[in-house]
Every structure is written in structure tokens, then in C-alpha cells.
Structure 1
Amino acid sequence: MSEPSTGTVGDGHRAEHRAGPAPVPGRAEAAALADRVDAQPWRTLLAEIDAHGCAATGPILTPQECAEFTAMWDDLTRFRSTVDMARYRFGEGTYRYFAHPVPDPIMELRAAFYRKLLPLARSWADRLGDAAPWPEEFGDWLDICHAAGQTKPTPILLRYHAGDWNALHRDLYGELVFPLQIVIGLDRSGIDHTGGEFLLVEQRPRAQSKATVSVLEQGHALVFTTRDRPTPSSRGWSRAPIRHGVSRVRSGVRHTLGLVLHDAE
């Protein structure tokens, strides 16, 4: 997701209102979130991500937790920036970057996913001949980002109404990048909204692009490639650029929680 330098709270093209703080799961619940991430079938998931650039988990959030995250939308004090996609020709819709302090459950989820995805990130870097600057602990990785000037939190809450969509893009916010990220569906596809499928497009070397379409189930996560993934070639490994977006929402309202695993300049 791109972040315009002019994006500030209040940029959204739909009227918003301030409300009291939405409930946030406590630390005990946040720890349980990490347990749910750990319990996913990671051997299968990592193999699918390695082969195709993305994979869907089972349930991570309960419907009540999804509703609690969605309710945060109206509390502008939680966010550092609001971006109206149409204003910057990113598509149609609105997204908001969480401010410091990022809610504990979101940080717990980021750290839990980071731990599980780190081996694949390092493997990809080795195959592509890239640096692998990621330490064992997520907090240490954020310290490295912050020391390099990438101090702004990147978790986002996204809202799409009927007719909204998101152009193909990559979420790069500085020189330091983690190669995998996560999006979690917060609404019921086919009930709360129709359309709004997640799109992943891979640019294949000397071939036409390959597209993957995924439906985000409520509370389920989709792990996907941030920038590039290695693909076999006659010379060993090639770099396949990947972009993601969202198809047009046909009815209702679609909310998602985006978890980028590096911070922004």
C-alpha cells in the first residue's frame, strides 16, 4: 500500500465521526492470538507460499474480535493517517494507518507471523543472492527499521464500499523490507459484502503474468509476497515481481486488517 506524504487523518472522502474508544482484546487474549498463529499447518502453508506466492490460513480471529477491530475505524485517535485512494488514483476506498502505540493484539499477531515466516524469508534471500537482515525476534527487526529512519507503524485498517477497488501495488516503505505480509478478513464474504476478492499478480520472466484470486474469509489470514519471490530458471533462480490489489466490491462493505512486517519512513 502506498502512503502519500500528504495523507493525514481526515483525508477520507466519506464523512467520519469521532467516537469513544472501541474495545481492544487484552494481553491474555493477544497471547491467545499468537497461539492460534502457531497452531496453523505451517509446513503446508510455507510450501504453498514458496510455490505460489500466497496461502490462506485457517481461523485466526473470532467473529467478535473481527467486530472489535472493525469498530476501531471510528476512533480517529487510534490512527496516524487516513488515505483516500481515489485522491491519489490508487483505486476507490479508504485506509487508515495505526498510530503509536499500535494495539497490543496487532503487535502480537505481527510478531507471531514473523517468527513463522522468517525461515522462508531467509531461504528466498539466499536463493536470490539478497541480504537477509532479519534477526530472530520481531522487536529487534523493528529496532533495525527505526534506526534506519523507518519509524512509522504500517498496520492498516481498510474499508471498501460498493464500487470500491484497489489497484495493483507493492507495500514498500523504505530500503528495509520483509518479503512477506498478511491480510485478515474482518467481514463475511457473500453476506456482509460481495466481490472484493484479493488479487495477486506475478510477473513471470519472459512470459505472460500469472494471477491468483482469493476470497478472504472472516477471521482468516492470507499470507502473500510483498515484493518478489524466487522462481526456478535455467540459470538457477529468477526474481518474479509480485503485486497485489482488490477487485471491485459489488455490494455491502468490506473491512480488512493489513499487517506489513516492516515499518515506514
Structure 2
Amino acid sequence: MKFRKVTAAATTALVLSLTATACGGGDGDSESGSGGSDKIKIGIKYDQPGLGLKEPGGSFSGFDVDVATYVAKELGYEADQIEWVETKSADRENALSRGDVKFITATYSITDERKQKVDFAGPYLLAHQDLLLKADSDIKEGTDLNGKKLCSVTGSTSAQNVKEEIAPDAQLREYGTYSECIAGLQSGAVDAVTTDDSILAGFASQDQYKGQFKLAGLKLSNENYGIGVKKGDSETLNKINDALEKMVSDGAWDKAVKDNFGPANYQNEPAPQIGKIVQ
């Protein structure tokens, strides 16, 4: 290509124009390795041992963290390129719609109501509402909870489900966090804690609780955990589904289950099929 001769003034103007464009960030492309952002933001829980937990030293652990890390690598990001973002239950849909995170892996049960606002990859885990008991508890059936103290967090539907379906005379104790419920179970202040079995197993697997608790295995509900992505982002959705299928086929999924829930003798369901929701 031939360039016409330009004056010194014109040359100076051209250089300044190019410099301004470069400083302005171009077209906003942020592909990893192309001079743009080399990070990916992923939403998780910070307060669920065995699933999504921020450790005292600042690191992160749990099954959701392991799944998200595997998926991120399949999307082209190493572990040190992940920026973990705390996404509490009430803010998950907003975090995706605002673009605060690329995807969310945070005990995010797939429901028809939520599917109106976000898209879900997966499911990647089938959990069930259950009870956590002391290892020497004589509670064997849900009806044995009648007259006993049952703990769940304030506002949760788990305890109400137990009272409505199997133990109407259970004495409900509502605490601010599941950590408080677990401490109450350990001290004897309550007789049982109820929420998803995966969450209960995560707590029971912690070093300070090993051997102290057991799951009742009641399977009171089906909770299909999915990975939330922004509504309409089919490209990311398809890539995540491919990553989840690979994680199952190469054994990494089974290893993550064992690493995070094994000490609680969690009888997990097999890895669910992508797109198959268990009602």
C-alpha cells in the first residue's frame, strides 16, 4: 500500500490521535491474552464448608469451588486468574444481570421461577433436604422429631417442610446461620439441623466435627444444583455444559465429591445428566 506525503503538522496530529485511541481502550475487547483482562469473576458462597468457603488465610475451598475451577480452566483460565466474588442467595440473579460475575456456582437450585431470570448449565449435583443428627442420636425416622428441637436458619423453608410433612410437633429453633445451628447440635441445645444434605455433609466433614454427626438420609426434597449464567448467554452456557460432562467422564467430579464430603459418609447421588431435572 502507498502512503501520500504528509506535513509535519499532520503527522503530529495523527500520532496524537492514535495515542488517544490507545489510551481510550479501543473497542473494549477483553479476551484473555490479547492485552485485555486476564481474569474471570465467578460467584460462590463464602460461608458453606465443603461447598464454598473462604478460609481464614484468604484461600477458597469446597465442592462448588472445585467445580468452578475446573470449568474455568476449560474456558481458558488458570486458578490464579479466577476472582472469587461472594454472591449471597438474595443477590444471585442481580449479580448475573449486572455482569458482576461470568457465572455462579453456589448451591444454586434450578427452579422454574429462577429460569425466568437466568439460564442454568447443568445440573452438576442432585442434593436432598435432610437432617443432621449427633452420631449417637436415637432419631431414626422423621416422625421421631416430634417433641424434639429442630434447627434451621431464619426464613428457611426447610424446617417448615419437616413440620408440615413429617413432624408437626417438632420444636422449631431458628438461628441466624447454619454455623450457629451446628454449634447448637454439638452442645445439645438442639436435636437436629435441617437443610440440603450437601450443606450438612460439608459442615460434618470439617476437622472439628469429624465423627460427631451423621446424616439421617431422609431425602425430603430434590435440589438440582445448576451453574447460573446471564440470561441469553448461550455461548457460555454451552461451554460450561461441555466442561461439566468432561469433569464427570475423566473422574474429576467423583474426586471432588470424595474430597469435600467423604468424611461425613455422604451418600451422594451419581452425577446428574446435563439438562435432566429430577422433580
TM-score, structure 1 normalization: 0.20
The structure whose residues are more often strand, as a share, is: 1
The structure whose residues are more often helix, as a share, is: 2
Larger Rg: 2
TM-score, structure 2 normalization: 0.20
